[in-house]
Amino acid sequence: MNAVVGRGKCAKAAVGASKMVQAAEHKGCRTSSNSGQASCGSRAGQADLPTEIWEKVKSHPCYSEEAHHHYARMHVAVAPACNIQCNYCNRKYDCANESRPGVVSEKLTPEQAVKKALAVAATIPQMTVLGIAGPGDPLANPEKTFKTFELVAKAAPDIKLCLSTNGLSLPDYVDVIAKSKVDHVTITINMIDPEIGAKIYPWIFFNHRRYTGLDAARVLADRQLLGLEMLSERGILCKVNSVMIPHINDGHLVEVNKAVKSRGAFLHNIMPLISAPEYGTVFGLNGQRGPTAQELKALQDACEGEMNMMRHCRQCRADAVGLLGEDRSAEFTTDRVMKMDVKYDLEMRKAYQDRVEDERAAKAAASKEELGELAGAASEISLLVAVATKGSGLINEHFGHAREFQVYELSTSGTKFVGHRRVDVYCQGGDGEKDRLSTIIRGINDCHAVFVAKIGGSPKSNLIKAGIEPVDQYAHELFEKSVISWFRSYLDRVKSGEIQHVKRGDASIRQKAVISAA
């Protein structure tokens, strides 16, 4: 801390962070205290949230797990500069077909970003959120970032604005953020202990100099937590992203969870490290592995009692466009956008979004009904299932076409969304179906069943051999309702002795970037 004392007002603000901790200790998500469950978290619905919070999150795909099946987001890459270096990031690498944070194919000026936003809004009426997430840090590019927000708010007032930052400059811009009508801010916080931070961040650039080691991590952690407190005080919804890095911060993230919860964070998103040597990151090159599916789930479960967890993050590009599971950025390159004759039609967008709301209401009612029938059953069994979907809450994807599977945990208390598993990684190469199948099986190996619209004979028998039941009789039906119905029959089959319930093993999470929509 001594290293920064006296270096202007920013440094003093950093020192002040620890004093504010106590004041903020009892704030936080006001809806979660009474039930003991994650009541306002990523899964929360209208009934669980205060009206003003529900209005903010109901159509934000990142802040509401339910909304992400229906609403799309776009990131505009207007912020290329960064002020810190992370060991999981290498800004030099870019590929148009690749999806991971920090990557873009072309950077935009604020004027180009607005044109693009209007083009996307006209083409994808369910696009409700525009975020600035880099590829650097939005607050290391304040002029471009806030100019973009100003222009978008003027041109398309119904689009929600959000930004994602590393938090280093956040305390300096909280008031500007509040004035810019930014509803949601995501801060990436990977540690609160500088000893751990020093293993993740080689340096930061702050107050006109470069800090390294413990000094860097200390300043960063103080600034992040101070920024979070300041946003909470102003009623801006905050999500905290944390990258889970086995043997570095995995155990520590429970502490981070408590710290951010006490400072009013709305949602905590623990993401697996993406680490492959070819991206040239420090972690990739030194063999640092990412977590397995069950390691990630265990940590998310451990934090859930403390706070609301986001489990549907796709770790998308800084210029992603579309629903969270898809990326349509290739349709909206600057060349194409500049040639488009864009007509922003607020009425059309509103009519479309009203239809989406009707669809959501119908889906929620159907799941509730099926859940009611499950209530009579009593069983200790809890298991995971995978669902292939293209969206709208339906089992509507062919097994062989699925780029990812949604994973749900089933028990007699209902369904719980656990996460998604990407299965379309590069490494399949040209070796065809057999490799692809084994990639999928590795990705959903902890599941008892996989729900698909259709599946071929060969993958079907291979899945059964691997101990995963392929289920295609609920094709094109609502998946929450379907998995509960299947689970009821599963429990019946176990009860009658027809099948035996056995525990599944672990599954792997992609270590490589995923390819974009074909």
Partner 1 sequence: MPFKIIASQCTSCSACEPLCPNVAISEKAGSFVIEPAKCTECIGYFDEPQCVAACPVDNTCVVDTSLARYQAPA
Q: Which is nearer to partner 1, 141 or 188 (CB)?
A: 141
Q: Report which of 315, 310, 302 is spatially closest to residue 273, judged by C-alpha positions.
A: 315
Interaction between residue 83 and partner 1 (CB under 8 A): yes
The pair of three-digit structure tokens given for residue 355, joined into one six-digit string: 């239809």
Contact 35, 156 (CB under 8 A): no
- Straight-line distance from the first to the last Cα atom of the chain, in angstroms, rounded to the nearest whole number: 50
For partner 1, the binding residues in 103-132 under the rule CB under 8 A are 107
Near partner 1 by CB under 8 A: residue from 19, 26, 154, 208: 208
Interaction between residue 172 and partner 1 (CB under 8 A): no
Interface with partner 1 by CB under 8 A: which range of 36-44, 82-90, 234-242, 250-258? 82-90
Interface with partner 1 by CB under 8 A: which range of 81-89, 162-170, 306-314, 510-518? 81-89
Near partner 1 by CB under 8 A: residue from 139, 140, 156, 163: 140
Interface with partner 1 by CB under 8 A: which range of 84-92, 261-269, 363-371, 504-512? 84-92
Q: How far is the CB of 205 from partner 1 (least distance, A)?
A: 5
Interface with partner 1 by CB under 8 A: which range of 31-39, 76-84, 239-247, 305-313? 76-84
3-state secondary structure of 496: coil
Q: How far is the CB of 136 from partner 1 (least distance, A)?
A: 6
Q: Which is nearer to partner 1, 19 or 208 (CB)?
A: 208
The pair of three-digit structure tokens given for residue 48, joined into one six-digit string: 């669980």
Task: Give the other-Cβ count within 10 Å of 515's Cβ.
Answer: 17
For partner 1, the binding residues in 215-274 under the rule CB under 8 A are none
Q: Which is nearer to partner 1, 176 or 178 (CB)?
A: 176
Interface with partner 1 by CB under 8 A: which range of 37-45, 134-142, 185-193, 267-275? 134-142
Residue type, 154: K
What DSSP letter does each residue of 451-485 carry, written as one string? E-SB--HHHHHHHHHTT-EEE-TTTTSBHHHHHHH
With the C-alpha atoms ordered 322, 328, 333, 338, is the resulting torsion angle positive or negative? negative
Near partner 1 by CB under 8 A: residue from 87, 105, 126, 141: 141
Task: Give the other-Cβ count within 10 Å of 513's Cβ.
Answer: 22
Q: Which is nearer to partner 1, 143 or 354 (CB)?
A: 143
Q: Which is nearer to partner 1, 83 or 190 (CB)?
A: 83
Near partner 1 by CB under 8 A: residue from 49, 72, 82, 236: 82
Interaction between residue 210 and partner 1 (CB under 8 A): yes
d(C-alpha 395, C-alpha 202), whole Å: 45
# chain residues binding partner 1, by CB under 8 A: 17
Residues 6 or more apart whose CB falls under 8 angstroms from that of 193 comprise 221, 252, 255
Q: How far is the CB of 386 from partner 1 (least distance, A)?
A: 38
d(C-alpha 247, C-alpha 256), whole Å: 15
Near partner 1 by CB under 8 A: residue from 1, 21, 24, 80: 80
d(C-alpha 269, C-alpha 305), whole Å: 14
Q: Which is nearer to partner 1, 235 or 280 (CB)?
A: 280
Contact 132, 333 (CB under 8 A): no
Q: How far is the CB of 81 from partner 1 (least distance, A)?
A: 4
In the DSSP assignment, the letter for residue 273 is: P
Task: Tell me whether strands 127-132 and 72-75 are parallel, antiparallel or unpaired.
Answer: parallel
Q: Which is nearer to partner 1, 212 or 382 (CB)?
A: 212
Q: Which is nearer to partner 1, 24 or 96 (CB)?
A: 96
SS (H, E, C) 334-368: HHHHHHCCCCCCHHHHHHHHHHHHHHHHHHHHHHH
Q: Which is nearer to partner 1, 335 or 358 (CB)?
A: 335
Q: Which is nearer to partner 1, 85 or 415 (CB)?
A: 85
Near partner 1 by CB under 8 A: residue from 54, 205, 344, 426: 205
Q: Which is nearer to partner 1, 135 or 197 (CB)?
A: 135
d(C-alpha 434, C-alpha 404), whole Å: 17
Half-sphere exposure of 392 (CA within 13 A, CB side): 13
Cα dist from 127 to 60, 124, 352, whole Å:
9, 6, 11
Task: Give the other-Cβ count within 10 Å of 22's Cβ.
Answer: 9
Q: How far is the CB of 138 from partner 1 (least distance, A)?
A: 13
Near partner 1 by CB under 8 A: residue from 9, 30, 181, 209: 209
Interaction between residue 136 and partner 1 (CB under 8 A): yes
For partner 1, the binding residues in 335-394 under the rule CB under 8 A are none
What DSSP letter does each residue of 371-429 carry, written as one string? HHHHTT------EEEEE---BTTB---BGGG-SEEEEEEEETTEEEEEEEEE--BGGGT
Q: How far is the CB of 226 from partner 1 (least distance, A)?
A: 22
Interaction between residue 92 and partner 1 (CB under 8 A): yes
Task: Give the other-Cβ count within 10 Å of 442's Cβ.
Answer: 17
Residue ranges in contact with partner 1 by CB under 8 A: 80-83, 85, 91-92, 107, 135-136, 140-141, 143, 205, 208-210
